[in-house]
């Protein structure tokens, strides 16, 4: 992938769109900040490789570099779907119970 800038750009844009799409759902679907890997538009390893390439090789201003590092960190929160469900479940149950109590 190293010199395939079109592919790198495609991967990063698609992953950024995924992050943008799930962010509003964090409180109601992913309260444990555990995200199903099936939501990723590309294999996790390809996304990591594309992000690392940009962070290490493209001279950008500090703000963009820090943003890329932030979304690279967020990638660590994507895991096997069953594990993500397992981690979110207790929080979702608590939220549902709390919501019923406040009605």
Query: For the chain, what are the domain ranges?
Result: 5-101
Tell me the C-alpha distance between 27 and 57, whole Å.
35
Where the chain has pLDDT below 50, the residues are none
Tell me the C-alpha distance between 52 and 12, whole Å.
11
Q: Give the pTM.
A: 0.83
pLDDT of residue 77: 96
Question: Quick check: helix, strand or coil at residue 96?
Answer: helix
DSSP string over 8-47 = HHHHHHHHHHHHHHHGGGHHHH-TTS-EEGGG-SS-HHHH
Contact assessment for residue 71 and residue 15, using Cβ atoms and an 8 Å cutoff: yes
**Residue range 8-19, pLDDT digits in tens:** 999 999 999 999
Structure tokens at 29: 């679907």
Contact assessment for residue 22 and residue 35, using Cβ atoms and an 8 Å cutoff: yes
pLDDT of residue 3: 62
pLDDT of residue 1: 59
């Amino acid at each position: 992938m190293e010199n395939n800038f079109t592919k790198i750009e495609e991967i990063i844009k698609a992953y950024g769109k995924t992050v943008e799409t799930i962010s509003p759902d964090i409180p109601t679907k992913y309260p444990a900040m555990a995200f199903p890997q099936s939501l990723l538009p590309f294999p996790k390893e390809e996304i990591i490789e594309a992000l690392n390439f940009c962070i290490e090789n493209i001279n950008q201003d500090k703000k963009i570099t820090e943003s890329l590092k932030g979304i690279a960190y967020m990638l660590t929160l994507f895991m096997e779907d069953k594990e993500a469900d397992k981690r979110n479940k207790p929080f979702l149950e608590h939220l549902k119970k709390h919501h019923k109590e406040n009605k």
